[in-house]
Structure 1
Amino acid sequence: MIPDNTPVIIGVGQHSERPQDAGYEALSHMDMAGRALQAAIDDCRAAQPVAPEIELIAALRQWENSYYGAPSPFGRSNNPPRSIARRVGADPERAVLEVTGGQAPQKLVGEIAEHIAHCEFELAAIVGAEAVSTVLTLLGQGHQPDWSEEIEGELDDRGYGSERIFEKEWLKHATLGVIGGYACVDNARRHRLGLSLDQYRQQMGELFAPFTKVAAANPHSAAPVVRSAEELATVTERNRIVAEPYTRMTVARDQVNQGAAILISSVRKARELGVPEDRWVHIHSVATANELKVLRRPDLSRSPASTASVERTLELSGLDLGGVRYLDLYSCFAAPLFNLTDHFGLSADDPRGLTLTGGLPFFGGPGNNYSSHAIAEAVARCRADRGAYALVGANGGILSKYATGIYSTEPADWNSAVRYHRMSIPQRPEPLDSAPKGDVTVETYTWSVDKDADKVRSSVIVRTADGKRALIRPDHRDAATRTLFESGKPFGVKLVVGQDGHGANIGRVSA
C-alpha cells in the first residue's frame, strides 16, 4: 500500500582502484563515475533497462572544478553529468552540477526525494568520482592523457558556493585555508577543555583508531591499515604535523581514486522497471543547515547548525539517536566529529561505531563525493538488517554546511509528513575588524612549519580591544612570538598588531 509517489533508493554503486592494484586501469574522473553509476544500475536488479529511464543526473564536483582556478592538468569535461550519462547509455532531460561541499550528496538526496514526492520526475541519479591519485601517478610517470570532453546539452551549473564559506580575510592573509579553519576550530575546543597539544592528539587518536579497523575491512579503502591511537597521535617523520594539532594520518586523504552513485526512484517507476522490493530503501528524513562564516561565529569551538541538522532529522523520523543502529559521521578532520560526539554524548568506542566506510582519513576523502559512499554503505546495512535505521551526516566547508539523512527498509510516508527541511539557525554574527591596530588577544590559532623550517604558515584569530574579531599572521621572525605559538599555548595572550606593506595584519608579542 506504499503510494506511487514515494521516493526510494533502488540502487547504489561504488568503484575504486589503486595504482598498486593488479589490473589498474588509470581511469579518468568521468570513467570512474561512469563505472560507479553502472554499478548502481546493476544493483537495482531490475527486469527492464534502467539507464534510458533516468530523467536527471546530479553530478558532484571534482577537485579540478571545485573552485576558481583549480588545476586540471589533463583537461576536464564541460558538462560532467552528461559525460557520465554517456558512459551508461543515459540521456537525461536534466543535468545538474552541484555546488562545492561535502554536504552535497546528502543534500541532493533530500532535494531529489522531495521533487519525486511532488511528482516532478520519477528517476534520478546522484554520482561523483575523484581520480587524484591517478593524476599524480601519471604526472610522476611523465604521461599527459587528454581527459577533456565537450558535451552539448542543458546544464544547471550551480556554481562553486565558496562565497558562503570564507571571509575575504582568509585569502588576503595567505592562511592555511580550509585545513587552517578546521584546525582553529579544534584548537578552540582544545582550549575550552584545557588540554595540551599532546593530550589533544591522543584524544584524536582514540577517536580515529576504530575507524582504521572499518577501513581495513572495506575493499574500496585507500588506506586499509589498522592503526593504534598512539600511532595516529605520535608525531614522526611519516606522521608529521600538517597544521597544529593535526598529524598527517588524522586528516582527510584526498589522493584517492573512488566513485559512487545513488539511484532514487518513485515507487511507481520502481515497480514499472521491475526492481524487487527487497532492493528498496526508504528515505525517512533529510535536514540541511548552514553555519555562519568562521570569523562570525559566537563560539569557534562549536557548530550549532550541524547539531541542529542531526536533531531535526531525528525529529522528522520520529526517532532519537538511540534508535539508530548504523552511523556514518563526516570525518574530514576531528572537529566535525567532536562537535557531534560532545553534543550527543557519543564515545569514540560506541559499539555501533561512528563510520560505515572507515572515514575520510582512512577510507578516503574523494572531494565532495565522500557521503555518496557513506549512503551506499548505509543502504547495504539497511538491506541486510531489515527494519534497522542508518544515519549519515555530511559536512561541507569549514563546518559551514551540514546535511543529515536517515534510511531504513521501513516505509516512509512523504504525503502526510514533512521529510525534507532546509533549516535556518538564528545566530548573531560577531563584528569584524579587517585592519586592527594596537593590542589584540589570541582566541584560537593553527601553526605549521614546512620541511624548510624558514617557511611558516598560520591562521590566527584574535579579539580586538573593543571585542571585534580579526584574522592575523604572527610575525614568525620575531623570536618571542615564534616561541609563543610553538608552545601550543598562545590562548589569551596579548599581541600588538599592525599592517605590512601589502595590507596584511601582522602581530607580535609586545616588548
Structure 2
Amino acid sequence: MGIVLGLAVTVAPASAGSALRLDVGVDGAPLRGPIGATVMRSIDAALQVSADRLAALDAGTPTRLTWTVSDEPVLHEATGQLLDPRTPVVVGVGQIVQRQPDPHRDPATLAADALRAAAGDSGVGEASLWAADAVYAIPSASWTYRDQAAQIAQAVGASPTERVQSTPYGGDGGLPRQRGRRGNRRRTVAHRAGRGRRNGFDVGCAAEVWQHPAVAGAGRGCRARPGRRRRPGRQPRLETAVGLGAPVFMYALIESAVRRRRGHQVAEHQREISQLWSGLSRVAATNPYAWSPSEVAADDLAAASPSNRAISEPYTKLMCANLQVDLAAGVVVTSVAAAQAAGVAQDKWVFIHAGASAHDEWFVGERADFSVSPAIRAAGRAALDHAGKEIEQVKHVDLYSCFPSAVQIGAEALGLPVGDPDRPLSVTGGLTFAGGPGNNYGVHAVASLIPILRADPTSTGLSTSLGWYATKHSIGIYSRAAADDCVPAPSSHGRAASSPAPAAVVRRRRRDRGQHGALRPRRCTRGRRAEHPDT
C-alpha cells in the first residue's frame, strides 16, 4: 500500500545563473484510488518547497531550517535523567562592545552582531538564527525603529512567526517569558522555548548605542510593525512636579532612607557604599565586555573631583549608571528537544530553573518605606521556592546595580550580605563600570552569568532586573544542572508535548499602610502555589 518515488535533480548553467530541474516518477496503490489526486497535490507542494530551498542554497541565500524536534523525553547525559522535551535552556550568549563610533553600525546592526556571536557560542552557528521561531527586541534609547525585532531578524536571516518589542524605558517585568513546560519569567529578554514540531529556537537581543550623525536614517526603510509591543508604565507626575523625575535624584532620596534604616552616620554610610562600588569595579576589571574595565579605589569614588564630580548627595559620578555606552547583547533559548535536534552539545546547555516578576507600590511617594522592597522579597521567594533552592545555595549573583541603594535594597530583600568579598553581588561589574545600556543591562548580566555556570556545572546563579524607581523587578535562576521537575511524568510526553503546559496563574497582593507586592502571572507545574511570603 506504499508509494514508490523516484527523484532526479539536475542543475545546469543558465544565462541568469543556474537552472534547477526536478524529475519525479511516482507509483503505488494509493495513487490509483480515490485519494490519488490529494496525494499528488501533497507531493507537488513538497517538491515546490524543496525546489525553493535548493534554489535559495544555489543563490547563497540563507533558508529557514527545520529540524525534526521529537516529543519524546531527552536523555541528560551528565545525570542520566530523562528530561521533558519542552524544558527551556539557554544555548548561546553573545556580547558586543563598540568603543569607537562606527557610522555603519547602528543599534540594530550591533544587536544582530551580538546574536551572531550567541549563535557561534552555541556551536550551531547562524543556522540557529535562521531557524528562529521568535525574535524579541529591547529597543534602543538612542534611535527609534518602527519594528526593531523585524530589522534584526532580517539582518540575521530569520523568518520568525512572532516578533515582540518591549517598552523604550523603564523595563518590562512581564515581557520575557518562557513558554516551555515550566513557563519561567524574568525581565532580561523573552524567548519561547520549543513548541512541539516547530524548530523551537528563539532569540532575544538588544543594543544601546548613542546616535552618530551618519546613522540618522537607520531603520526608516523597514515598514513592518512588531506583532506585540509592551506599553509603557504610568508616569510619576507628583514626583516629577517636585523635581524627582530623574532617577539620580530619586535614588539619592531612597539612599537616605536606606542609611536611616541601617543606622549609619553620613560618613559611615558614604564609606560603605564607596567600598561596595569599588568591589563592583574590581569585577569589571576582569570582564572583557565591561565599558570601563578598571578597578577604582573606594576613597577615589567617595571624593568629588573634576573627573568624578558630585551629582546628587551622596552620589558622585562614578556611583551612577553610565548610559553613554555602545553595547549589545544577544541570547538564544530553545527547548532541550530542539537543542538536541540541532546538535547543540549538552555542555552548552544552561537550564532556566525559575523566574518571577513583581512590582512595588508604583509611586514612590505612596510607599510606606522607601528603603525596602516587598516586591523583590515576594519575587525572590517565589522563584527560589519554585527552583527548590535557598539563597545560601546560590553561588553566583548579579543584582541590578544602577545606584548603590538599588543593590542594598535587593540584597536585603533576598537575604544576601553586602560587602562580602567572597560573594560579590555582580558578575559584570554593574551599570557604572560594565555599562548601563538602558533596559538591556539584564541581558548583559545573563550573558555574563551563563559562561560562569558552564565552568561551574554544579552551581546555581541568580540575576535580577529593575525598572523605574526600584518599582518593577524580575528574578531568574539558572544552572547547568537540570531541575528535578524537568523530569517528565509518565504521561507528560506524546501529543500533549506539542504545546505549552497550561498556566496556573498566581496573583497575590498585600496592602499594608500603602505598600504591596504583586506577583505577575507565571506558569507553575510543580503542584505548588507561589505565595507572597507575607500572605
Query: Fold conserved (TM > 0.5)?
Result: yes
Cα deviation digits, residues 405-449 of structure 1 (max 9, x gap): 111111133567999986544124649xxxxxxxxxxxxxxxxxx
Partner Cα distance (1:160, 1:213) in 2: 37
**2:286 corresponding residue in structure 1:** 217
Cα deviation digits, residues 67-110 of structure 1 (max 9, x gap): xxxxx4xxx32110011111111111110001355654896154
Question: Which among 350, 353, 373 is matched to residue 444 of structure 2?
Answer: 373
- Greater CA drift, 180-189 or 336-345: 336-345
CA contact (8 A) 1:216 1:223 kept: yes
Using the TM superposition, give the Cα deviation of residue 193 of structure 1 relative to its aligned residue in structure 2, in angstroms: 3.4
Cα deviation digits, residues 439-479 of structure 1 (max 9, x gap): xxxxxxxxxxxxxxxxxxxxxxxxxxxxxxxxxxxxxxxxx
Q: Return closer, same or farther for 1:298/1:59 CA change in 2, 3 Å cut-off.
A: same
CA contact (8 A) 1:324 1:391 kept: yes
Three-state SS of the structure 2 residue aligned to 1:278 is helix
Using the TM superposition, give the Cα deviation of residue 264 of structure 1 relative to its aligned residue in structure 2, in angstroms: 0.9
Question: Which among 325, 340, 364 is matched to residue 435 of structure 2?
Answer: 364
Three-state SS of the structure 2 residue aligned to 1:108 is coil
CA contact (8 A) 1:395 1:403 kept: yes
Matched, 1:346 2:423: no
Q: Where does structure 2 lack aligned partners over 5 or more consecutive residues?
A: 1-81, 184-191, 490-500, 516-535
Matched, 1:395 2:473: no
Q: Which amino acid aligns with 2:291?
A: A
Question: Which among 244, 261, 283 is matched to residue 330 of structure 2?
Answer: 261
Q: Where does structure 1 lack aligned partners over 5 or more consecutive residues?
A: 65-71, 432-511
Q: What are the residue-to-residue correspondences of 1:197-276 with 2, within 5 Å?
A: 197-276=266-345
Q: Return closer, same or farther for 1:348/1:120 CA change in 2, 3 Å cut-off.
A: farther
Cα deviation digits, residues 4-37 of structure 1 (max 9, x gap): 11111111111111128xxx67621111101001
Q: Percent identity?
A: 27
The Cα RMSD (Å) is: 2.7
**1:336 corresponding residue in structure 2:** 406
Question: Which among 149, 152, 174 is matched to residue 81 of structure 1?
Answer: 149
Three-state SS of the structure 2 residue aligned to 1:305 is helix
**1:319 corresponding residue in structure 2:** 389
Three-state SS of the structure 1 residue aligned to 2:83 is coil
Q: Return closer, same or farther for 1:118/1:371 CA change in 2, 3 Å cut-off.
A: same
Q: Which amino acid aligns with 2:272?
A: Q
Q: Which amino acid aligns with 2:251?
A: Y
**1:93 corresponding residue in structure 2:** 161
Q: What are the residue-to-residue correspondences of 1:281-296 with 2, within 5 Å?
A: 281-293=350-362, 294-296=364-366
CA contact (8 A) 1:105 1:371 kept: no
**1:5 corresponding residue in structure 2:** 86
Partner Cα distance (1:261, 1:106) in 2: 19
Three-state SS of the structure 1 residue aligned to 2:127 is coil
**2:193 corresponding residue in structure 1:** 116
Partner Cα distance (2:249, 2:233) in 1: 16
Partner Cα distance (1:263, 1:86) in 2: 16
Using the TM superposition, give the Cα deviation of residue 43 of structure 1 relative to its aligned residue in structure 2, in angstroms: 1.2
Instruction: Please give the TM-score of this superposition, normalised by the length of structure 1.
Output: 0.74
Q: Return closer, same or farther for 1:159/1:422 CA change in 2, 3 Å cut-off.
A: same
Question: Which among 490, 510, 515 is matched to residue 426 of structure 1?
Answer: 510
Using the TM superposition, give the Cα deviation of residue 390 of structure 1 relative to its aligned residue in structure 2, in angstroms: 0.7
Q: Return closer, same or farther for 1:210/1:381 CA change in 2, 3 Å cut-off.
A: same
Partner Cα distance (1:333, 1:339) in 2: 10
Partner Cα distance (1:401, 1:336) in 2: 12
Cα deviation digits, residues 111-168 of structure 1 (max 9, x gap): 6772537759622111101112xx3xx46xxx564223332445134344231xx432
Cα deviation digits, residues 176-231 of structure 1 (max 9, x gap): 42222222211112233343443322221111111111111112111111111111
Q: Which amino acid aligns with 1:51?
A: L
Matched, 1:58 2:136: yes
Partner Cα distance (1:302, 1:401) in 2: 13
Partner Cα distance (1:312, 1:418) in 2: 19
CA contact (8 A) 1:287 1:421 kept: no
Using the TM superposition, give the Cα deviation of residue 304 of structure 1 relative to its aligned residue in structure 2, in angstroms: 1.2
Using the TM superposition, give the Cα deviation of residue 352 of structure 1 relative to its aligned residue in structure 2, in angstroms: 2.6
